[in-house]
Amino acid sequence: MTGVIEGGWEYVYASYLTSWVFVVGYAASLWLRSREER
């Protein structure tokens, strides 16, 4: 045992993917609501 976490790339990808889902999803919701309000 080295005391360093080994691997874990799946968590890294999950975190970045979650961020992008939120950003893109919210941008899409803003666009749709902006069209409705016009």
Partner 1 sequence: MRDCEAPVAVSGERIRSADRPPGRCAISGSSINGIAALLGFGYLLVVAGLTLTRERPVLPFRWELPLGIAGVVMLAVGNGFGLFYAPSEKFMGQVGRIIYSHVPAAWVGMICFLLAAVFAAGFLFTNDPERARRWDAAMEAACEVGVLEGVLMLLTGAIFGRPTWGVWWTWDPRLTSAAVMTMSFVGVLLLRGIVRDPDRRATWSAVATILAGINVPIVYMSVQWWASLHQPQSEGAGGSMIDPSMRWILFFNAMAFLFVTVFFLAARARIAERRVEAEMPEPLPEVAT
Rounded-to-integer distance, Cα 27 and Cα 30, Å: 5
Identify residues 8-27 at the interface with partner 1 (CB under 8 A): 8-9, 11-12, 14-16, 18-20, 22-23, 26-27
Q: Kindly state whether residue 28 participates in binding partner 1, applying the rule CB under 8 A.
A: no
Q: How far is the CB of 10 from partner 1 (least distance, A)?
A: 9
* Helix, strand, coil share of the chain (percent; to 5): 75, 0, 25
- d(C-alpha 19, C-alpha 6), whole Å: 23
Site for partner 1, rule CB under 8 A: 3-9, 11-12, 14-16, 18-20, 22-23, 26-27, 30, 33-34, 37-38
